[in-house]
Amino acid sequence: MGYTGVELREWVTAQVNVEESKEAENLATEERRLQREEEQRQIADKAQAELLSRQDIKAAQEAERRERLKWEEISLEQAKLEQQEQLRVLELEQQKELKLSELKLVEKKLENNEAGSGSDSDANGREANASSSRT
């Protein structure tokens, strides 16, 4: 190279500056790469958290839907039982009315029999009185 003294020192200083500049550039490039990786990691973490949140929301919605269906089934079953109970009460009322009608019919038959027996005994009594007065 043929540099001596001051020229050599300037050349060495220039080379050192070039190397330091390259190293600084490499360092800056590495820092930018690390920063991009960190940003990508944060984006991935945020996406994962969002996904989990959506899954949690979906799971909660599904649980709520199942709970609502369960209550609807219970309500339907309760309505069915109430309807059966109303039918049973209505049937019992009809049976009661039928029994009352039967009892009234039996009572009327008894009254008619008693009235018939009473008129027969009155007629028999009049006949007996008429026979005894003739004798």
- Give domain status of residue 76, yes or no: yes
- Give domain status of residue 127, yes or no: no
- Give domain status of residue 59, yes or no: yes
Please state the pTM of the whole predicted model.
0.42
- Give domain status of residue 115, yes or no: no
Number of domains comprising the chain:
1
- Give domain status of residue 121, yes or no: no
CA atoms within 13 A on the CB side of 84: 6
- Characterize 9-18 residue by residue with b for buried, 16 or more Cβ atoms within 10 angstroms of its Cβ, and e for exposed: eeeeeeeeee
- Give domain status of residue 118, yes or no: no
- Give domain status of residue 129, yes or no: no
Q: Report how far residue 52's alpha carbon sits from residue 47's, in angstroms, rounded to the nearest whole number.
A: 9
pLDDT tens series, the chain, 135 aa: 677 888 888 889 999 999 999 999 999 999 999 999 999 999 999 999 999 999 999 999 999 999 999 999 999 999 999 999 999 999 999 999 999 999 999 999 998 988 877 655 555 555 556 555 555
